[in-house]
Structure 1
């Protein structure tokens, strides 16, 4: 039998370096699964299974067929939230290492997660579950405004809204429901379960990448996060490492959160808000951070974190011997153009700007630029490297991305069309 590593979600934009991480582990073919693969085939991979990576039945049938052809998985590795459950079931089927089902449930369902945090005294914003308008009306009386309305089981700031009063609360619920109507079926998540949550009024937020193994936890890095203006919470930038990357309290809390949920393999992504020197765990995901944070880690630390993540799905008893020491700063900023219709896209010459590593433009002429509501409302991204490590919170990547967005995108005022 020929062994392969099946990386689910690896073909997703900004997760491309997972291929290199898998290749670095050993002499394995690196496979992924893509819906309608004949039309979407990605030749970087050694093979693309023609299956929806979220469909257990599709994948099970394909894996059985390929086993009959002499190929067997060495590990089935989830790289995003949506593939956690299916990877777990398949690993169990094949007698491969997996996470316990209740661990996956706790990492996917924010309501279960919050109740675990509460039980073990991990500081987290107060939140309550609801699934209809009447419940929400009653729960509003338990909270001081402003509050957050968010889906129980989604990501990328989708369906997350700030509400300053009861009317805004009901409006936020309506908007969140509309968002879930659009995306729930594709991502196979619940479309009518939500949380009302206390709002931690601070713009200081970090994410912590924690390497989780059998009886060991190690923080790889702390990332500084930059959010869009309120009432939205879209991530508009990340910087690795945060100037807080040596902060023992942040690192210890992130490890406690992973332990409390029972995550024992792979890289976990922990989001923490900071207000008046108090720390609050917002949520934890049992997979590597998105938005190219892994690429920033690789750039800054000369370590491919996907390799660490995948290796824990093969053997989580061996603690890697790396010292996680940043050599330089790496950042990403998402471009926001002026609202309106994109009339022209320019490509200013940035070849002599040594700080810019790459620019991706997402939108086309004729597209409409809207508010930064979630990940789908970004116009592009810019990745940066700097030789010096940050000592305070810096916004230079955000400012530079705003400047470039104004040069790249010529927009008409939508109201004058």
Structure 2
């Protein structure tokens, strides 16, 4: 319990952001959730860990500002924290207007918009991918010819690998563009910009860097190894922290990630930076000015190092001392179950055994019998996950992969039987 209770507002807690609300609540602070619907605490799983709700249009800066200034908490907030990616830049702007500490608006805007971030990397000499911003197929085809196939097509302001495509040739590009131009609205009804990126495809293993900066310097850094689905999609299916591979390149990877954050103006607080270790060295995929999702921050950092980055971030926003001392050196992995084909879900064979394994600390199935499932094209299509803890990264990864390979999906056929 904190000696001084503060009043903290979180903008639309969801996914990783629920851990923010929980950390502040457990610290004894007064937690206010600013939401687009009163149903959201139940929807996103934070019932019982907030004290009050404020309803606002979280897609609109003025609505957020007005909802706060019209509330009983006007002039009484000690911190305003973005708890969803999509509202991070708007939250930053409102925090500036209220005189509260936070990420600079321009930095948050660049982190949210991949084209602005790529431009900043280029201006500051940060190794990333060659790219072009395009609006239609003709521009995309011209850009792909300049960059040379294979290329990656993606939205400029989305997340969770939504409509990210690996493209071999012009025919595939045409098909993907036909789909992506019809993608108008993403999570929480945020608009998808009608500008897209054609990027150079980066070869090499993928990592993320979990960072906490103070005045541009890393006071905590850890590298997570990633595994993704086979191309043409990029859905993450395994995270291992700390990385069991390419440990001799960790410092290079961390240095490149910090350089990228500095380039967009993120100099304080938590971040999650995705990197490819290409044959020419680390290259930036994207930067997120918040703790890593996918249970990396909420579970893997805690299991591996005893680090609570959410508690540290709450303290940062409150301008209180930040403690990120490593309590132990272990390892953890999270593995996601995905479907190899489309169909109607019945159950996951072997999942009971996984849940009972002594190294599995948590396991969860996100679908129910009778649900239609598809081959994973984005993170939304993952069916289940489990988290393993071990003494070494190599053992954590080996065990997670072994358990993952022991599972299979039972489908319901049209006669209501099981196959």
Same fold (TM over 0.5): yes
Cα displacement (A) at 1:36: 2.2
Q: Which runs of 5+ in 2 are unaligned?
A: none
Deviations 1:137-183 (A, max 9, x none): 222220221110011111110110001011111212222233x2252
- Once residues 170 and 61 of structure 1 are traced to their aligned partners in structure 2, the CA distance between those partners, rounded to angstroms, is 44
Q: Is the 8 A contact 1:301 1:325 kept in 2?
A: yes
Question: What is the DSSP-based 3-state SS (H/G/I as helix, E as strand, rest coil) of the residue aligned with 1:155?
Answer: coil
* 1:195-210 matches, cutoff 5 A: 195-202=197-204, 204-210=205-211
Q: Partner of 2:138 in structure 1?
A: 134
Q: Partner of 1:125 in structure 2?
A: 129
Deviations 1:38-63 (A, max 9, x none): 57452222233334544434433432
Q: Partner of 2:77 in structure 1?
A: 73
* 1:44-63 matches, cutoff 5 A: 44-63=49-68
What TM-score do the two structures reach when normalised by structure 1?
0.88
* 1:141-220 matches, cutoff 5 A: 141-178=145-182, 180-183=183-186, 186-190=189-193, 192-202=194-204, 204-220=205-221
Q: Partner of 2:10 in structure 1?
A: 7
User: 1:229 and 1:395, CA in 2 relative to 1: closer, same or farther beyond 3 A?
Assistant: farther
Bigger shift: residues 211-220 or 144-153: 211-220
Cα displacement (A) at 1:104: 1.8
User: 1:35 and 1:101, CA in 2 relative to 1: closer, same or farther beyond 3 A?
Assistant: closer
Q: Partner of 2:103 in structure 1?
A: 99
Q: Partner of 2:334 in structure 1?
A: 332
Q: Which runs of 5+ in 1 are unaligned?
A: none
Matched, 1:89 2:93: yes
Q: Is the 8 A contact 1:38 1:50 kept in 2?
A: no
Cα displacement (A) at 1:342: 1.4
* 1:4-403 matches, cutoff 5 A: 4-10=7-13, 12-23=14-25, 27-37=28-38, 40-41=41-42, 42-67=47-72, 72-178=76-182, 180-183=183-186, 186-190=189-193, 192-202=194-204, 204-243=205-244, 244=246, 247-276=250-279, 278-295=281-298, 296-315=300-319, 320=322, 322-324=324-326, 327-339=329-341, 340-344=343-347, 348-350=352-354, 352-390=356-394, 394-403=397-406
Q: How many residues end up aligned between the 2 structures? A: 405
Q: Is the 8 A contact 1:232 1:373 kept in 2?
A: yes
Q: Is the 8 A contact 1:37 1:51 kept in 2?
A: no
What TM-score do the two structures reach when normalised by structure 2?
0.87
User: 1:378 and 1:402, CA in 2 relative to 1: closer, same or farther beyond 3 A?
Assistant: farther
User: 1:353 and 1:71, CA in 2 relative to 1: closer, same or farther beyond 3 A?
Assistant: farther
Q: Partner of 2:411 in structure 1?
A: 411
